[in-house]
């Protein structure tokens, strides 16, 4: 390995910068040149490349977002788009790639390895935390903390105004963020993609609570949660339905993109720093088509193909506790 490329792709996640810094400095330390590829696969196709040195990644460890920018790129889904990306890699004499992103980014990596015979290592960078082979992806800890901070503020108004709040959090088809913030934020209820939801039961509980004098509720909804009729559980619809069924006042909040931004937490920075170095180490050792992660505090390496398989979320114990402590 004389020269490697690094890119961030898909949704941005806090801590990606710390991973870039680690990749660059670990590689440079080992006399490997690093090419920063801007805007993910789109930038690879368009050759938006810049050599990065030790100094290029100064003062970014504490910054949210990604200095390399990120993008979603439909062209890369096509044979022609991939061919152009591969040409750019060959033309610029890049021997290996470090791909920081989520499952889509990893799927792109699988194509580059299997179809185009390139060397790629994946680093999990997604607030959804839906990749296998790691307890945590870079960004998810910050996202949980950001959502919690917002929920704490909503709780103040919920208690003062004696209202029911339905709060939608990110996470796509994986309920990780929702489950974490429901437990950490002391929510009364959580709707998850992984669990069938009994809407009438929740409304009965709200009415019974109301009779006992419990007037404020925090209900967390994962963006990928469904109602029993198969409809996506949107915060707005749930709030409306609760009012219809209980006669009580509700408000809905969609936390949205604030969950993606902000200063990465210590956990995310440390994870990103460890994984950046581990990815370069794998490339130096001639490994290919792998994803790095951390399981029980140890570096863990899996195939990219395994990393994108459906990750199981253990819901029951958390959910039980949420309901006992309500
Ligand atoms: P996040 O989890 O934060 O959304 P992600 O990496 O999953 O991040 P995607 O938009 O799904 O984000 O994927 C990023 C890019 O990876 C896509 O825009 C596309 O260029 C590429 N990609 C996704 N799926 C594939 C695939 N099956 N084959 C080749 N490339 C893919």
- How does DSSP assign 154-216, residue by residue? HHHHHHHHT-EEEEEE--TT--HHHHHHHHHTT-SEEE-TTS---HHHHHHHHHHHHHHT---
Domain shared by 219 and 291, yes or no: no
Nearest atom in ligand 1 to the alpha carbon of residue 81 is 20
Q: Is 128 a catalytic residue?
A: yes
Closest residue CA from atom 4 of ligand 1: 11
Asked whether residue 320 is assigned to any structural domain, the reply reads: no
**Dist. CA 16 → ligand 1 center (Å):** 16
Q: List phi, psi (to 5°) of 164.
A: -95, 125
CATH number of the domain within which 75 lies:
3.40.50.450
Instruction: Find out whether the beta carbon of 108 lies less than 6 Å from any atom of ligand 1.
Output: yes
Instruction: Find out whether the beta carbon of 103 lies less than 6 Å from any atom of ligand 1.
Output: yes
Domain shared by 164 and 251, yes or no: yes
Domain shared by 119 and 227, yes or no: no
Do the strands 164-169 and 250-254 form a parallel or antiparallel pair, or are they unpaired?
parallel
User: In terms of pTM, does the model score above 0.85?
Assistant: yes
Q: What residues contact 295, with CB distance under 8 A and at least 6 apart?
A: 133, 134, 135
List the 217-222 sheet strands across, edge first.
Answer: 189-191, 217-222, 164-169, 250-254
Long-range interactions of 296-299: CB distance < 8 A, separation 24+: 296/135, 299/274, 299/275
Domain shared by 131 and 56, yes or no: yes
Whole-angstrom distance, CA of residue 302 vs CA of residue 308: 10
The residue range of the domain holding 9 is: 3-139+264-307
Q: Which of the 8 DSSP states describes residue 85?
A: H
Domain shared by 255 and 273, yes or no: no
Would you say how long the chain is, in residues? 326
Number of folded domains that form the chain: 2
C-alpha neighbours within 13 Å on the C-beta side of residue 29: 11
For residues 41 and 97, is the Cβ–Cβ distance under 8 A?
Answer: no
Q: Annotated catalytic residue: which of 103, 128, 141, 268?
A: 128
**Dist. CA 298 → ligand 1 center (Å):** 27
CA terminus-to-terminus distance, the chain: 55
Domain shared by 299 and 197, yes or no: no
Nearest atom in ligand 1 to the alpha carbon of residue 42 is 20
Listed residues 260, 291, 316: the one ending a domain: 260
Instruction: Find out whether the beta carbon of 104 lies less than 6 Å from any atom of ligand 1.
Output: yes
Domain shared by 146 and 190, yes or no: yes
Asked whether residue 313 is assigned to any structural domain, the reply reads: no
Domain shared by 93 and 164, yes or no: no
**Dist. CA 152 → ligand 1 center (Å):** 33
CA-based torsion, 107, 109, 114, 116: positive or negative: positive
Domain shared by 158 and 174, yes or no: yes
Domain shared by 71 and 146, yes or no: no
Instruction: Find out whether the beta carbon of 14 lies less than 6 Å from any atom of ligand 1.
Output: no
CATH number of the domain within which 238 lies:
3.40.50.460
Asked whether residue 323 is assigned to any structural domain, the reply reads: no
Asked whether residue 318 is assigned to any structural domain, the reply reads: no
Instruction: Find out whether the beta carbon of 126 lies less than 6 Å from any atom of ligand 1.
Output: yes
Closest residue CA from atom 31 of ligand 1: 108
Domain shared by 125 and 99, yes or no: yes
Instruction: Find out whether the beta carbon of 145 lies less than 6 Å from any atom of ligand 1.
Output: no
- Can you give the pLDDT of all 326 residues of the chain as single tens digits? 999 999 999 999 999 999 999 999 999 999 999 999 999 999 999 999 999 999 999 999 999 999 999 999 999 999 999 999 999 999 999 999 999 999 999 999 999 999 999 999 999 999 999 999 999 999 999 999 999 999 999 999 888 888 899 999 999 999 999 999 999 999 999 999 999 999 999 999 999 999 998 888 999 999 999 987 888 999 999 999 999 999 999 999 999 999 999 999 999 999 999 999 999 999 999 999 999 999 999 999 999 999 999 999 999 999 999 999 98
């Amino acid at each position: 390995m004389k020269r490697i490329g690094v890119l961030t792709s898909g949704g941005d996640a806090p801590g990606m910068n710390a991973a870039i810094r680690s990749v660059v400095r670990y590689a440079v330390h080992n006399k490997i040149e690093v090419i920063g590829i801007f805007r993910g696969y789109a930038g690879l196709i368009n050759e938006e490349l810049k050599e990065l040195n030790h100094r290029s990644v100064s003062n970014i460890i504490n910054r949210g977002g990604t200095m390399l920018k990120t993008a979603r790129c439909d062209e890369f889904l096509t044979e022609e788009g991939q061919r152009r990306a591969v040409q750019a890699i060959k033309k610029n004499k890049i021997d290996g790639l470090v791909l920081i992103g989520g499952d889509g980014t990893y799927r792109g990596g699988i194509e580059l390895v299997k179809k185009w015979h390139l060397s790629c290592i994946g680093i999990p960078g997604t607030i959804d935390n839906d990749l296998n082979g790691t307890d945590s992806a870079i960004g998810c800890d910050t996202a949980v903390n950001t959502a919690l901070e917002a929920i704490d503020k909503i709780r103040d108004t919920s208690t003062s105004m004696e209202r029911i709040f339905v709060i939608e959090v990110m996470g796509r088809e994986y309920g990780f963020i929702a489950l974490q913030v429901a437990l950490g934020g002391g929510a009364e209820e959580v709707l998850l993609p992984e669990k069938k939801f009994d809407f009438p039961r929740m409304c009965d509980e709200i009415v019974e609570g109301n009779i006992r004098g419990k007037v404020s509720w925090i209900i967390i909804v994962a963006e990928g949660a469904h109602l029993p009729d198969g409809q996506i559980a949107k915060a707005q619809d749930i709030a409306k339905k609760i009012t219809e069924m209980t006669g009580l006042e509700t408000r809905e909040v969609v936390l949205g993109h604030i969950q993606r931004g902000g200063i990465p937490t210590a956990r995310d920075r440390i994870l990103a720093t460890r994984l950046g170095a581990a990815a370069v180490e794998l490339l130096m050792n001639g490994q290919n088509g792998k994803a790095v992660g951390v399981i029980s505090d140890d570096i863990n390496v899996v195939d990219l193909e395994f990393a994108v398989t459906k990750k199981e979320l253990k819901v029951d114990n958390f959910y039980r506790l949420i309901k006992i402590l309500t």
